[in-house]
Protein backbone atom coordinates (compact mmCIF):
# COMPACT_ATOMS: atom_id res chain seq x y z
CA UNK A 1 0.00 0.00 0.00
CA UNK A 2 1.26 3.48 -0.85
CA UNK A 3 2.02 6.01 1.84
CA UNK A 4 -0.35 8.89 1.11
CA UNK A 5 0.64 12.52 1.45
CA UNK A 6 -0.65 13.73 4.81
CA UNK A 7 -2.09 16.80 3.05
CA UNK A 8 -4.79 14.49 1.69
CA UNK A 9 -6.12 14.26 5.24
CA UNK A 10 -7.15 17.92 4.90
CA UNK A 11 -8.57 17.59 1.39
CA UNK A 12 -12.22 18.33 0.75
CA UNK A 13 -14.70 15.52 0.22
CA UNK A 14 -15.41 16.60 -3.34
CA UNK A 15 -11.67 16.53 -4.06
CA UNK A 16 -11.29 13.05 -2.58
CA UNK A 17 -14.37 11.83 -4.46
CA UNK A 18 -12.74 12.86 -7.73
CA UNK A 19 -9.53 11.06 -6.82
CA UNK A 20 -11.48 7.93 -5.88
CA UNK A 21 -13.46 8.01 -9.14
CA UNK A 22 -10.27 8.43 -11.16
CA UNK A 23 -8.67 5.69 -9.05
CA UNK A 24 -5.78 7.89 -8.00
CA UNK A 25 -6.42 6.70 -4.43
CA UNK A 26 -8.50 3.89 -3.02
CA UNK A 27 -10.96 3.90 -0.10
CA UNK A 28 -8.68 1.42 1.66
CA UNK A 29 -5.74 3.82 1.46
CA UNK A 30 -7.81 6.75 2.67
CA UNK A 31 -9.25 4.80 5.59
CA UNK A 32 -5.74 3.68 6.54
CA UNK A 33 -4.55 7.30 6.46
CA UNK A 34 -7.38 8.38 8.77
CA UNK A 35 -6.86 5.50 11.18
CA UNK A 36 -3.16 6.32 11.46
CA UNK A 37 -3.95 9.96 12.17
CA UNK A 38 -6.46 8.94 14.83
CA UNK A 39 -3.85 6.70 16.43
CA UNK A 40 -1.38 9.58 16.45
CA UNK A 41 -3.50 12.57 17.43
CA UNK A 42 -6.55 11.32 19.30
CA UNK A 43 -4.69 10.40 22.52
CA UNK A 44 -4.09 14.14 22.95
CA UNK A 45 -7.34 15.52 21.51
CA UNK A 46 -9.67 12.90 23.06
CA UNK A 47 -12.25 13.41 20.32
CA UNK A 48 -13.32 9.75 20.10
CA UNK A 49 -15.50 7.84 22.54
CA UNK A 50 -15.43 4.64 20.47
CA UNK A 51 -13.19 3.74 17.54
CA UNK A 52 -14.35 1.27 14.89
CA UNK A 53 -11.11 0.50 13.08
CA UNK A 54 -12.08 -3.05 12.07
CA UNK A 55 -15.44 -1.93 10.73
CA UNK A 56 -13.80 0.94 8.85
CA UNK A 57 -11.30 -1.41 7.21
CA UNK A 58 -14.11 -3.78 6.22
CA UNK A 59 -16.31 -0.98 4.82
CA UNK A 60 -13.37 0.53 2.94
CA UNK A 61 -12.62 -2.83 1.28
CA UNK A 62 -16.27 -3.18 0.29
CA UNK A 63 -16.32 0.36 -1.10
CA UNK A 64 -13.20 -0.33 -3.12
CA UNK A 65 -14.70 -3.55 -4.47
CA UNK A 66 -17.98 -1.84 -5.40
CA UNK A 67 -16.25 1.03 -7.15
CA UNK A 68 -13.89 -1.28 -9.08
CA UNK A 69 -16.93 -3.23 -10.27
CA UNK A 70 -18.75 -0.11 -11.47
CA UNK A 71 -21.14 0.30 -8.53
CA UNK A 72 -20.16 3.85 -7.60
CA UNK A 73 -22.76 5.35 -5.25
CA UNK A 74 -21.80 9.01 -5.41
CA UNK A 75 -19.42 11.54 -3.85
CA UNK A 76 -19.54 10.08 -0.33
CA UNK A 77 -18.65 6.55 -1.46
CA UNK A 78 -15.50 5.48 0.38
CA UNK A 79 -15.28 8.67 2.46
CA UNK A 80 -14.29 8.18 6.15
CA UNK A 81 -16.66 9.85 8.62
CA UNK A 82 -17.49 10.03 12.32
CA UNK A 83 -20.82 10.26 14.12
CA UNK A 84 -21.56 12.42 17.11
CA UNK A 85 -22.19 10.01 19.97
CA UNK A 86 -25.87 10.88 20.09
CA UNK A 87 -26.53 9.08 16.81
CA UNK A 88 -27.74 5.51 17.24
CA UNK A 89 -25.46 3.04 15.47
CA UNK A 90 -26.51 -0.60 15.43
CA UNK A 91 -24.11 -2.75 17.44
CA UNK A 92 -21.89 0.21 18.37
CA UNK A 93 -22.29 1.87 21.73
CA UNK A 94 -23.96 5.25 21.87
CA UNK A 95 -23.11 7.00 25.13
CA UNK A 96 -24.06 10.70 24.75
CA UNK A 97 -20.69 11.14 26.55
CA UNK A 98 -22.47 10.22 29.79
CA UNK A 99 -21.86 7.66 32.50
CA UNK A 100 -25.57 6.85 32.31
CA UNK A 101 -25.28 5.37 28.81
CA UNK A 102 -21.64 4.21 28.99
CA UNK A 103 -22.58 0.65 27.98
CA UNK A 104 -25.66 1.33 25.83
CA UNK A 105 -25.57 -0.44 22.45
CA UNK A 106 -28.52 0.30 20.12
CA UNK A 107 -30.05 -2.45 17.99
CA UNK A 108 -30.80 -0.12 15.08
CA UNK A 109 -29.30 2.84 13.22
CA UNK A 110 -30.54 6.39 13.33
CA UNK A 111 -32.05 7.46 10.01
CA UNK A 112 -29.08 9.70 9.20
CA UNK A 113 -26.54 7.00 10.08
CA UNK A 114 -28.39 4.56 7.83
CA UNK A 115 -28.52 7.05 4.94
CA UNK A 116 -24.83 7.82 5.17
CA UNK A 117 -24.00 4.11 5.34
CA UNK A 118 -26.14 3.50 2.26
CA UNK A 119 -24.17 6.25 0.49
CA UNK A 120 -21.02 4.18 0.99
CA UNK A 121 -19.32 6.08 3.80
CA UNK A 122 -16.69 4.46 6.02
CA UNK A 123 -17.33 4.79 9.77
CA UNK A 124 -14.22 5.53 11.84
CA UNK A 125 -16.04 5.76 15.16
CA UNK A 126 -18.20 7.79 17.52
CA UNK A 127 -17.01 11.16 18.80
CA UNK A 128 -17.58 13.22 21.90
CA UNK A 129 -20.52 15.46 22.64
CA UNK A 130 -21.01 17.63 25.65
CA UNK A 131 -22.95 15.27 27.91
CA UNK A 132 -26.42 14.79 26.41
CA UNK A 133 -25.62 17.77 24.16
CA UNK A 134 -26.27 20.07 27.13
CA UNK A 135 -23.30 22.44 26.96
CA UNK A 136 -20.82 24.39 24.88
CA UNK A 137 -17.43 23.01 25.99
CA UNK A 138 -17.54 19.23 25.26
CA UNK A 139 -15.87 18.71 28.61
CA UNK A 140 -17.16 15.31 29.69
CA UNK A 141 -16.77 14.58 33.38
CA UNK A 142 -16.86 10.84 32.61
CA UNK A 143 -14.88 10.51 29.34
CA UNK A 144 -12.64 13.52 29.85
CA UNK A 145 -12.45 16.78 27.89
CA UNK A 146 -12.26 16.92 24.11
CA UNK A 147 -9.57 19.40 23.03
CA UNK A 148 -9.32 21.93 20.21
CA UNK A 149 -6.64 21.09 17.61
CA UNK A 150 -5.87 24.79 17.04
CA UNK A 151 -4.95 25.21 20.68
CA UNK A 152 -5.50 22.47 23.27
CA UNK A 153 -5.93 25.13 25.97
CA UNK A 154 -9.20 26.41 24.45
CA UNK A 155 -12.49 24.55 24.17
CA UNK A 156 -13.58 23.01 20.84
CA UNK A 157 -17.10 24.34 21.38
CA UNK A 158 -20.15 22.22 21.87
CA UNK A 159 -22.04 20.24 21.92
CA UNK A 160 -20.69 18.66 18.69
CA UNK A 161 -17.12 19.33 19.80
CA UNK A 162 -15.88 15.86 18.90
CA UNK A 163 -16.96 16.29 15.30
CA UNK A 164 -15.47 19.78 15.13
CA UNK A 165 -12.16 18.59 16.59
CA UNK A 166 -11.94 15.46 14.42
CA UNK A 167 -12.73 17.27 11.16
CA UNK A 168 -10.40 20.20 11.93
CA UNK A 169 -7.59 17.80 12.87
CA UNK A 170 -7.83 15.84 9.63
CA UNK A 171 -9.05 12.70 11.40
CA UNK A 172 -12.30 12.55 9.39
CA UNK A 173 -13.83 14.26 6.36
CA UNK A 174 -17.33 14.55 7.81
CA UNK A 175 -18.65 14.67 11.33
CA UNK A 176 -22.36 14.53 12.01
CA UNK A 177 -23.76 16.97 14.53
CA UNK A 178 -26.91 18.05 16.29
CA UNK A 179 -27.85 21.65 16.98
CA UNK A 180 -30.28 22.78 19.70
CA UNK A 181 -28.79 26.15 20.63
CA UNK A 182 -25.91 26.31 18.17
CA UNK A 183 -24.28 22.93 18.72
CA UNK A 184 -23.21 22.46 15.09
CA UNK A 185 -22.30 26.05 14.32
CA UNK A 186 -20.46 26.84 17.56
CA UNK A 187 -17.91 23.97 17.35
CA UNK A 188 -17.54 24.78 13.65
CA UNK A 189 -16.59 28.32 14.67
CA UNK A 190 -14.32 27.25 17.54
CA UNK A 191 -12.53 24.73 15.32
CA UNK A 192 -12.49 26.71 12.05
CA UNK A 193 -14.62 24.37 9.95
CA UNK A 194 -18.01 24.53 8.23
CA UNK A 195 -21.20 23.69 10.09
CA UNK A 196 -24.65 23.62 8.49
CA UNK A 197 -27.85 23.70 10.53
CA UNK A 198 -30.66 23.06 8.05
CA UNK A 199 -34.27 24.19 8.31
CA UNK A 200 -36.27 22.44 11.02
CA UNK A 201 -37.81 19.40 9.32
CA UNK A 202 -35.21 19.06 6.57
CA UNK A 203 -33.29 16.20 8.27
CA UNK A 204 -34.72 13.39 10.40
CA UNK A 205 -33.80 13.25 14.08
CA UNK A 206 -35.04 9.66 14.45
CA UNK A 207 -32.52 7.64 16.44
CA UNK A 208 -30.67 10.73 17.70
CA UNK A 209 -30.80 11.16 21.47
CA UNK A 210 -32.83 14.34 21.96
CA UNK A 211 -31.96 17.40 23.94
CA UNK A 212 -35.09 19.47 23.24
CA UNK A 213 -37.44 18.06 20.61
CA UNK A 214 -38.77 21.30 19.18
CA UNK A 215 -35.31 22.91 18.92
CA UNK A 216 -33.15 19.96 17.78
CA UNK A 217 -31.70 19.91 14.26
CA UNK A 218 -29.25 17.46 12.64
CA UNK A 219 -26.60 18.45 10.12
CA UNK A 220 -22.99 18.10 8.92
CA UNK A 221 -19.60 19.52 9.93
CA UNK A 222 -17.08 19.52 7.06
CA UNK A 223 -14.06 21.46 5.82
CA UNK A 224 -15.80 23.12 2.86
CA UNK A 225 -19.21 24.53 2.03
CA UNK A 226 -19.57 22.36 -1.06
CA UNK A 227 -18.89 19.32 1.10
CA UNK A 228 -21.60 20.43 3.54
CA UNK A 229 -24.01 20.60 0.61
CA UNK A 230 -23.09 17.12 -0.62
CA UNK A 231 -23.57 15.68 2.87
CA UNK A 232 -26.80 17.54 3.54
CA UNK A 233 -28.29 16.19 0.31
CA UNK A 234 -27.70 12.64 1.55
CA UNK A 235 -28.91 13.36 5.09
CA UNK A 236 -32.11 15.15 3.99
CA UNK A 237 -35.57 13.82 3.27
CA UNK A 238 -38.93 12.81 4.64
CA UNK A 239 -38.87 10.14 7.31
CA UNK A 240 -42.16 8.58 8.51
CA UNK A 241 -40.39 7.89 11.82
CA UNK A 242 -39.94 11.63 12.43
CA UNK A 243 -43.22 13.49 12.10
CA UNK A 244 -41.43 16.85 11.89
CA UNK A 245 -39.80 16.02 8.54
CA UNK A 246 -41.07 17.42 5.26
CA UNK A 247 -41.35 15.70 1.89
CA UNK A 248 -39.02 17.84 -0.22
CA UNK A 249 -36.19 16.96 -2.61
CA UNK A 250 -32.60 17.46 -1.42
CA UNK A 251 -31.75 21.17 -1.29
CA UNK A 252 -28.65 21.12 -3.49
CA UNK A 253 -26.62 24.30 -3.87
CA UNK A 254 -27.16 27.42 -5.96
CA UNK A 255 -24.11 28.31 -8.03
CA UNK A 256 -23.27 31.96 -8.60
CA UNK A 257 -21.30 32.27 -11.85
CA UNK A 258 -21.05 36.08 -11.88
CA UNK A 259 -19.73 36.76 -8.40
CA UNK A 260 -22.57 37.89 -6.16
CA UNK A 261 -23.92 40.57 -8.47
CA UNK A 262 -27.63 41.05 -7.73
CA UNK A 263 -27.40 39.32 -4.32
CA UNK A 264 -28.77 41.27 -1.36
CA UNK A 265 -27.22 40.57 2.02
CA UNK A 266 -28.91 41.89 5.14
CA UNK A 267 -26.96 43.21 8.13
CA UNK A 268 -29.06 43.30 11.30
CA UNK A 269 -28.86 46.79 12.79
CA UNK A 270 -29.18 45.46 16.32
CA UNK A 271 -28.25 42.46 18.48
CA UNK A 272 -25.91 40.54 16.16
CA UNK A 273 -23.25 43.24 16.01
CA UNK A 274 -23.56 44.36 19.63
CA UNK A 275 -20.76 43.69 22.14
CA UNK A 276 -18.40 41.87 19.79
CA UNK A 277 -14.88 41.13 20.94
CA UNK A 278 -12.47 43.35 18.95
CA UNK A 279 -10.95 40.54 16.87
CA UNK A 280 -14.41 39.32 15.82
CA UNK A 281 -15.49 42.86 14.93
CA UNK A 282 -12.37 43.33 12.79
CA UNK A 283 -12.88 40.02 10.97
CA UNK A 284 -16.54 40.76 10.31
CA UNK A 285 -15.82 44.21 8.90
CA UNK A 286 -13.32 42.62 6.50
CA UNK A 287 -15.94 40.00 5.61
CA UNK A 288 -18.57 42.62 4.86
CA UNK A 289 -16.09 44.46 2.64
CA UNK A 290 -15.30 41.20 0.83
CA UNK A 291 -18.96 40.55 0.07
CA UNK A 292 -19.22 44.10 -1.31
CA UNK A 293 -16.13 43.50 -3.43
CA UNK A 294 -17.79 40.36 -4.81
CA UNK A 295 -20.74 42.44 -6.00
CA UNK A 296 -23.29 41.87 -3.23
CA UNK A 297 -25.50 44.71 -2.09
CA UNK A 298 -25.30 45.16 1.68
CA UNK A 299 -28.62 46.28 3.19
CA UNK A 300 -29.28 47.20 6.81
CA UNK A 301 -32.28 45.35 8.26
CA UNK A 302 -34.08 45.52 11.57
CA UNK A 303 -34.96 42.74 14.00
CA UNK A 304 -37.33 44.22 16.55
CA UNK A 305 -37.81 41.38 19.03
CA UNK A 306 -34.34 39.92 19.56
CA UNK A 307 -34.27 40.86 23.25
CA UNK A 308 -36.79 38.04 23.80
CA UNK A 309 -34.85 35.34 21.92
CA UNK A 310 -32.56 34.06 24.68
CA UNK A 311 -35.27 33.89 27.34
CA UNK A 312 -37.72 32.10 25.06
CA UNK A 313 -35.05 29.63 23.94
CA UNK A 314 -34.00 28.79 27.50
CA UNK A 315 -37.57 28.29 28.73
CA UNK A 316 -38.31 25.85 25.91
CA UNK A 317 -34.93 24.11 26.09
CA UNK A 318 -34.89 23.60 29.86
CA UNK A 319 -38.51 22.46 29.99
CA UNK A 320 -38.08 19.92 27.19
CA UNK A 321 -34.72 18.72 28.54
CA UNK A 322 -36.20 17.98 31.94
CA UNK A 323 -39.11 16.16 30.35
CA UNK A 324 -36.68 13.89 28.45
CA UNK A 325 -34.53 13.17 31.50
CA UNK A 326 -36.96 13.18 34.43
CA UNK A 327 -36.88 9.44 35.09
CA UNK A 328 -33.09 9.15 34.85
CA UNK A 329 -32.58 12.29 36.91
CA UNK A 330 -34.80 11.02 39.72
CA UNK A 331 -33.24 7.54 39.75
CA UNK A 332 -29.55 8.30 39.01
CA UNK A 333 -28.84 11.98 39.78
CA UNK A 334 -25.26 11.17 40.78
CA UNK A 335 -24.47 9.86 37.27
CA UNK A 336 -24.90 13.26 35.60
CA UNK A 337 -22.08 15.76 35.23
CA UNK A 338 -22.36 18.76 37.52
CA UNK A 339 -23.24 21.32 34.86
CA UNK A 340 -25.81 19.11 33.11
CA UNK A 341 -27.47 18.15 36.38
CA UNK A 342 -27.79 21.85 37.22
CA UNK A 343 -29.46 22.57 33.87
CA UNK A 344 -31.89 19.70 34.34
CA UNK A 345 -32.80 20.79 37.85
CA UNK A 346 -33.45 24.28 36.52
CA UNK A 347 -35.75 22.71 33.94
CA UNK A 348 -37.73 21.01 36.69
CA UNK A 349 -38.95 24.41 37.83
CA UNK A 350 -39.87 26.01 34.49
CA UNK A 351 -43.57 26.86 34.90
CA UNK A 352 -45.98 25.70 32.22
CA UNK A 353 -46.98 29.33 31.76
CA UNK A 354 -43.37 30.31 30.98
CA UNK A 355 -43.08 27.47 28.46
CA UNK A 356 -46.30 28.51 26.72
CA UNK A 357 -45.34 32.18 26.65
CA UNK A 358 -41.99 31.19 25.14
CA UNK A 359 -43.79 29.29 22.38
CA UNK A 360 -45.87 32.40 21.65
CA UNK A 361 -42.71 34.50 21.54
CA UNK A 362 -41.22 31.94 19.16
CA UNK A 363 -43.93 32.62 16.56
CA UNK A 364 -43.44 36.38 16.87
CA UNK A 365 -39.67 36.06 16.52
CA UNK A 366 -40.07 33.86 13.46
CA UNK A 367 -42.28 36.50 11.85
CA UNK A 368 -39.68 39.14 12.77
CA UNK A 369 -36.96 37.19 10.95
CA UNK A 370 -39.13 36.54 7.91
CA UNK A 371 -39.89 40.27 7.62
CA UNK A 372 -36.18 41.05 7.81
CA UNK A 373 -35.54 38.50 5.05
CA UNK A 374 -38.18 39.99 2.74
CA UNK A 375 -36.35 40.97 -0.44
CA UNK A 376 -33.07 39.77 1.08
CA UNK A 377 -31.17 36.63 0.07
CA UNK A 378 -29.46 36.00 3.41
CA UNK A 379 -28.60 37.69 6.70
CA UNK A 380 -24.91 38.00 7.52
CA UNK A 381 -23.82 37.85 11.17
CA UNK A 382 -20.87 36.65 13.24
CA UNK A 383 -21.23 33.01 14.26
CA UNK A 384 -20.11 33.93 17.80
CA UNK A 385 -19.32 37.23 19.56
CA UNK A 386 -15.97 35.89 20.79
CA UNK A 387 -13.37 33.27 19.91
CA UNK A 388 -13.09 29.93 21.71
CA UNK A 389 -12.50 30.58 25.44
CA UNK A 390 -9.81 28.87 27.47
CA UNK A 391 -10.92 25.72 29.24
CA UNK A 392 -9.44 27.02 32.52
CA UNK A 393 -11.02 30.48 32.25
CA UNK A 394 -12.58 31.57 35.55
CA UNK A 395 -15.49 32.97 33.51
CA UNK A 396 -15.91 29.88 31.30
CA UNK A 397 -19.57 29.37 32.23
CA UNK A 398 -20.49 32.95 31.39
CA UNK A 399 -18.45 32.87 28.18
CA UNK A 400 -19.93 29.55 27.10
CA UNK A 401 -23.38 31.14 27.38
CA UNK A 402 -22.18 34.00 25.16
CA UNK A 403 -21.18 31.45 22.53
CA UNK A 404 -24.86 30.71 21.96
CA UNK A 405 -26.10 34.29 21.55
CA UNK A 406 -25.95 34.44 17.75
CA UNK A 407 -26.73 30.78 17.07
CA UNK A 408 -29.72 29.98 19.29
CA UNK A 409 -32.24 32.35 17.65
CA UNK A 410 -32.39 30.23 14.51
CA UNK A 411 -32.99 27.10 16.55
CA UNK A 412 -36.02 28.91 17.90
CA UNK A 413 -37.16 30.01 14.44
CA UNK A 414 -35.97 26.89 12.60
CA UNK A 415 -34.24 28.90 9.85
CA UNK A 416 -31.28 27.44 7.90
CA UNK A 417 -27.95 28.75 9.17
CA UNK A 418 -24.38 28.22 7.98
CA UNK A 419 -21.22 28.76 10.04
CA UNK A 420 -18.01 29.04 8.00
CA UNK A 421 -14.46 30.40 8.39
CA UNK A 422 -13.84 34.11 7.78
CA UNK A 423 -10.70 34.93 9.72
CA UNK A 424 -8.38 34.38 12.66
CA UNK A 425 -7.63 36.26 15.84
CA UNK A 426 -4.11 37.64 16.45
CA UNK A 427 -3.51 34.61 18.69
CA UNK A 428 -4.40 32.23 15.84
CA UNK A 429 -7.92 31.18 16.85
CA UNK A 430 -10.58 30.71 14.12
CA UNK A 431 -13.40 33.18 13.53
CA UNK A 432 -16.55 32.20 11.61
CA UNK A 433 -19.34 34.12 9.96
CA UNK A 434 -22.97 32.99 9.92
CA UNK A 435 -25.41 33.15 7.00
CA UNK A 436 -29.13 32.85 7.77
CA UNK A 437 -31.71 32.15 5.07
CA UNK A 438 -35.40 31.68 4.43
CA UNK A 439 -37.11 28.39 5.34
CA UNK A 440 -35.94 25.47 3.17
CA UNK A 441 -33.71 27.77 1.09
CA UNK A 442 -30.47 26.04 2.03
CA UNK A 443 -29.45 26.18 -1.64
CA UNK A 444 -29.09 29.97 -1.47
CA UNK A 445 -27.38 29.98 1.93
CA UNK A 446 -24.87 27.36 0.81
CA UNK A 447 -24.42 28.97 -2.60
CA UNK A 448 -23.54 32.39 -1.18
CA UNK A 449 -21.24 30.72 1.35
CA UNK A 450 -19.55 28.75 -1.40
CA UNK A 451 -19.06 31.88 -3.51
CA UNK A 452 -17.34 33.52 -0.52
CA UNK A 453 -15.25 30.40 0.05
CA UNK A 454 -14.04 30.42 -3.56
CA UNK A 455 -12.83 34.00 -3.09
CA UNK A 456 -11.03 33.50 0.24
CA UNK A 457 -8.46 31.12 1.71
CA UNK A 458 -9.63 30.80 5.30
CA UNK A 459 -10.92 27.25 4.79
CA UNK A 460 -7.52 26.18 3.48
CA UNK A 461 -5.77 26.89 6.78
CA UNK A 462 -5.37 23.94 9.13
CA UNK A 463 -3.90 23.41 12.59
CA UNK A 464 -0.25 22.39 12.68
CA UNK A 465 -0.94 19.67 15.25
CA UNK A 466 2.51 19.76 16.78
CA UNK A 467 1.43 17.16 19.30
CA UNK A 468 4.04 14.94 20.86
Segment (H or E) for 124: strand 122-127
DSSP state for residue 266 in the 8-state scheme: E
Q: What is the set of active-site residues? A: 84, 159, 183
The number of C-alpha atoms within 13 Å of 305 and in the hemisphere containing its C-beta is 21
Give the count of beta carbons closer than 10 Å to the beta carbon of residue 306: 18
Residue (of 301, 314, 412) closest to 366 by Cα position? 412
Whether residue 195 contacts residue 418, with contact meaning beta carbons closer than 8 Å, is answered with yes
| Phi, psi (deg, nearest 5) at residue 194 | -100, 135
* Helix axes of 309-331 and 352-372: crossing angle, nearest 10 degrees: 140
SS3 content of the chain, % helix, strand, coil (to 5): 40, 15, 45
List residues bridging with 431 in a β-sheet: 423
Number of H helices, E strands in the chain: 14, 13
CB-count burial class (<10 Å; 0-12, 13-18, 19+) for 263:
buried
Amino acid sequence: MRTLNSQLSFAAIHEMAEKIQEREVSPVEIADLMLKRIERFNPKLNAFVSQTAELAAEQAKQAEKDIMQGRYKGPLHGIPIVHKDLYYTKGIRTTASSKILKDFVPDYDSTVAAKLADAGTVLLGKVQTHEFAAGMTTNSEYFGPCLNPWNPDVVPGGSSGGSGSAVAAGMAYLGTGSDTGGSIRIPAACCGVVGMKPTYGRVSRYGIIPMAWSLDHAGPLTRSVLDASLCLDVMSGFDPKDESTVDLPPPGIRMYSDGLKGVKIGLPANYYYDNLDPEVETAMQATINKFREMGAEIVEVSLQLMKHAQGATMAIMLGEMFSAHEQWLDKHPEDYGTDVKMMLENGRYVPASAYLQAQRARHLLTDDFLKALTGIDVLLTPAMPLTAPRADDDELYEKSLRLTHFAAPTNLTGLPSLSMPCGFSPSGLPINLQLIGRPFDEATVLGIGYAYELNTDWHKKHPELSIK
